Structure formats: structure tokens, C-alpha cells
Amino acid sequence: MNSDFIIYNTLTRTKEIFKPLVEGKVGLYVCGPTVYSDSHLGHARPNITFDLLFRYLTFLGYKVRYVRNITDVGHLEDEVEETGEDKISKKARLEQVEPMEVVQKYMNTFHHNMEQLNVLPPSIEPRASGHIIEQQLMIDSIVKNGFGYEANGSVYFDVEKYNQQYNYGKLSGRNLDDIKTNTRELDGQSEKKNSFDFALWKKASPEHIMRWPSKWSDGFPGWHLECSAMSTKYLGEQFDIHGGGMDLTFPHHECEIAQSTASLGHETVRYWMHNNMITIDGQKMARSLGNFITLQELFSGNHKLLKQAYSPMAIRFFILQAHYRSTIDFSNEALQASEKGLERLMNALKTLEELTTSEKSTIDISTPKEKCFAALNDDLNSPVAIAHLFDGVRMINSVKAGTEKISSTDLAELKSFYHSMVFDILGLKQEQTADSANNEILAGAVVLLIKLRNEAKANKDWATSDKIRNELNAIGVELKDTKEGVEWKLK
RNA sequence: GGUCUCUUGGCCGAGUGGCUAGGCAGCGGUCUGCAAAACCGUGUACGGCGGUUCGAAUCCGCCAGAGACCUCCA
């Protein structure tokens, strides 16, 4: 690549040329899910966005260490109850359910869903529960440096003191005075010096079952701490990119900066990247609004808002068709449009394998290619890259239709470009509809029926030929009469 | 209430001070026994009102509407 890769840095609010800390290597940390319930449509966004980043950086030749955590401690207790089928008494429930059971169950679901979406696994997937010691050590250094204080077995971060020396609010564009006047006063915060101080270590209440011993109390780490501790552990005291959803900017990422700075004396992250939200009818998806759709429901179509099932690839394509920093509004219409567009793109990839070549090309294949990469280099602009991919689709179809010609060298280049862009970078794949054994039997039967239909056609017995076509269509096999003969495929 | 963002053709969505993506849907045509697919042609959209400018949908102001964060959140 001869042009620079540019990314938007939330910290500076500008697009910056990406320069890794170490030549040829990239350290990438992304906030992963809290595994207390099924993964939902919202989880698809950051994971696909940063999967694209991971894939593209890799394609550019970087050796990427991608760390994405699993949050499996902290506020888990409350959430377990909220999944509430019915109101089993708290105590009974806590006695019956091992928290790690909940964690394991939803972590498995998450992994399965990510695989369906063709999201590559990260290089390291650390769990907060496995890094309690690292977190405790970090608390030690924060306290030692004077930015943390103990109160009644819990440890809090002293935001006001930190802000005297550093800038609390630099990422989210807030200043402490505003926060002071606008933070809601909540009950039970009396042990904190200020309401905006946040917990580094929380003493566990008697019924809280996830707890670890410490010199302060039996308790659990504060919810911002894991990312600071684990990113530093695996990527070093300074690393390239930290990603996550926009809703994490404040307070989560702001607190991460404060913790790391308070502990190490300097910031760790060079580029902050934030993906925007998915909305439904213009509103963020939330349990309380009743517009919450899990990935499982999306793939099966089993939800009142869904008119049909949507394949994982249709969801992936839908998300890639919007820029990651824009909100994207969910609707059946939009998803159906993506589904059809994806089909068109994937058909063109099959067509690419069947094209006949000519002496000279009448098309310029370098244009879509260059524009595609230019788009990705410009802050990962996947929608524009896809637009240029469709320009190429028109070329491919024109060659097939015979209105344009392509040389063998151009065809080879075009194939290689489409394979890299569509499969390796965008991470799309042809969907499998049946296993290969079934396919063989099915193919034999379909070929036989096509043969019978051809005989009927030869006799101008349109009733029979249409019947065969319609019946096959009804069970999911689509026939097309082309100049080269009859083509068929599973719908 | 505070901070911030957004408002693009039927739908989704890029982009940008003049050369005005793309997908889906629609319409007309070619092809076909018909259909499908494919191909060709077709839409001067940028919330409203002012201002700056030779020129703004793109910059500025005001108004209206929507949303995000401020509490767990992707």
C-alpha cells in the first residue's frame, strides 16, 4: 500500500494518519461483552467493526495482537436476577446457580454467534475473573500515587485530586465542574468523598457471591479496572488502538484513562476508536423499550419485530453498509435490501469464475480497486468501498452478458482483488444451505428433473415444464434459463 | 437541566463549497415460450428561515424535529 491509513481518533476529534508504535506491529484492545445474557444485535456492531479493522490491518501486513476481554465479574449479581423467569427468591436462586455457570453459558453463546457472523477470534481473550491479582496490583499503585482512598473496605478513585494534576474528561469532552453540577446524587454513596468518584474495589455485601479476598475486604474489582489492567498486561504500558462502543466513552473509557495515568504516570492509548449504535425506529435498543433483539432471534426470525429470519451474512453486510461512526437504523426493509444486495455481490463472485476472456479488456478494472482501498484507508469507510465493489459487479455482469470484454490478466487481477476484499477484508462468505452429502443427492434429483423439463420444453409442453419449475421453486430450488442452459441454485 | 450529535430522493445509507456514491424498491426497454436473472435507460434528494459567497445540500446564525451521553449498556 502506498497511501496512508487514516483513522478518526476520539481523543483528538480529528482524523489522523495511523502510525504504529512499533514498525509493522499493532496492539489493539477492544471492550468485549459482559456475559450475563444472550448476545444481541448491538453486540454485532463493535465486533464486526473491529473485526474489519483487525482484518484490514492484517491485510496491510501488520502483525496485530488483538485483545478483547470478557467481563465476568462485578455487577453480575443484579443482572442474573433480572433475567428472571419468575421471582424465585433471591436466596434460593443464589444457592442454586453458580455464577460461572451463567458466565460460561452466555460466553458460549457469544462465541457461537461471533463465529456465525464470521468474526475472527481475537489473539487473546482475557477474562476479568482471571486477572484479579493484576487489578489489585493496579489499585495498589493508584493508591500509592495518591489517587485512591480506602473507605469501609472499598477503594475509590479520587477524581478531584486526579483532575488537579491531569485532565479528567479529556476523552468525552467534559470538565469536572460540569460533572460536579450535573451528577445525580444517589443514595448509599456516603463513603465516597464525591459522588463522581468511582470504585476500584468494592466490598461485597453478604449476599454477593462473586468475591475475592484482598487486603481491603472480601470483594470484587470496580468495573472500569479490568480493561486498564488487562490491556497493560498484554499490550504494554503504551499501545496503539483502543476500541469500543460510543456509549462506553463516558464514564468507562474516561475512567480507564484516569486509572492508567494515575497508576503509570502517563496515558496508554494512542488512538481511541468508537463505533456508533444500532437503533430501532430511531431509538437505541434497550430491554426497557421492548425492542431488544438477540442474535439468535435475528438468525431464526423468531421475534415480533422480525418479518423473516436474516442470515448472519446479511446482518454483517447490513452493518458494513454503514460507516462505523454513524448510527444505523434497523428495519425489516433495510435488512431485506442488504440481503438482496449481498446476493448480487456474491453472485458476481460466482460469475467471476465462469467468465471467458478476450485479447484485450474494454473495461478498466483498476478504478474500483483503487477506490475501494482509498475508501478503507479513509477511516475504514466500508460503505464507500462496497459501493465501488458494486461498480465492479456491473463490469463483471457486462462481461458475462457480452457487452464488455476482459483480458486474462485483468480477470486474474480482478479475481484476486475480489477475493481479498470480499472474503479476507470484509469477511463475507458464501452461505452454506445444506451439507455436502445432502447436496449430492439433491443435485442428482434436480439434474434429473431439469432433464425431464427440457424434454417437455422440446415438446412445447409448457404446462409440464412450468410445473417442474414452480414445484422446485416451492421447495427452495430456483431455476434460471440462460443462453448456456439451465442454471439452478438453492434459494 | 448539562454536554454532544444528527436531520439526504419511496426505504437504507455515502459524500461534499461548483464535477451531485452505492444498495433495495419503482418505471420503460433488450433477452425469454413465459418467468427469473442479467444488461441498457430512467429519479437534479439534501428539515425550515435568514446570512456569507460568483456559487451551499456542504460554511455561519436562528428555529423546528430526532437521538446519544450524564446510571449498567455495544
Nucleotides of B under 7 A from a protein CB: 1-4, 11-15, 21-25, 31-40, 66-74
Cell numbers for A225, please give them: 479496572
- Give, in Å, how far the C1' of B35 lies from the CA of A291: 39
Query: β-pairing, A278-280 with A328-330?
Result: parallel
- b/e map A424-448, b = 16+ CB within 10 Å: ebbbbeeeeeeeeeeeeebeeebee
Taking each continuous run of H as one helix and of E as one strand, the counts in chain A are 17, 15
A327 touches strand B (CB under 7 A): yes
Query: C1' nearest to CA of A33: which nucleotide?
Result: B74
Q: How far apart are CA A230 and CA A224, in angstroms?
A: 11
pLDDT digits (tens, 9 = 90+) for A399-437: 988 888 899 999 999 999 999 999 999 999 987 554 555
Q: Which nucleotide lies at the shortest CA–C1' distance from A45?
A: B74
Name the nt closest to A382 by C-alpha to C1': B14
Q: Are A220 and A208 in contact (CB under 8 A)?
A: yes
The 10s digit of each residue's pLDDT in A459-471 is 889 889 989 888 8
A250-279 pLDDT, tens digit per residue, is 999 999 999 999 999 999 999 999 999 998
User: Residues 380-399, chain A: which have Cβ under 7 A from strand B?
Assistant: 381, 383-384, 386-388, 390-391, 393-394, 397-398
Distance A162 CA to B22 C1' (A): 48
pLDDT of residue A132: 95
HSE-CB at A49 with a 13 A cutoff on CA atoms is 32
Q: In terms of Cα–Cα distance, which of A220, A197, A21, A80 is closest to A136?
A: A220
Question: For residues A412 and A247, what is the distance between their CA atoms, to the nearest angstrom?
Answer: 44
**Which residues of chain A register pLDDT less than 70?**
1-2, 74-96, 182-190, 287-288, 290, 432-438, 483-484, 491
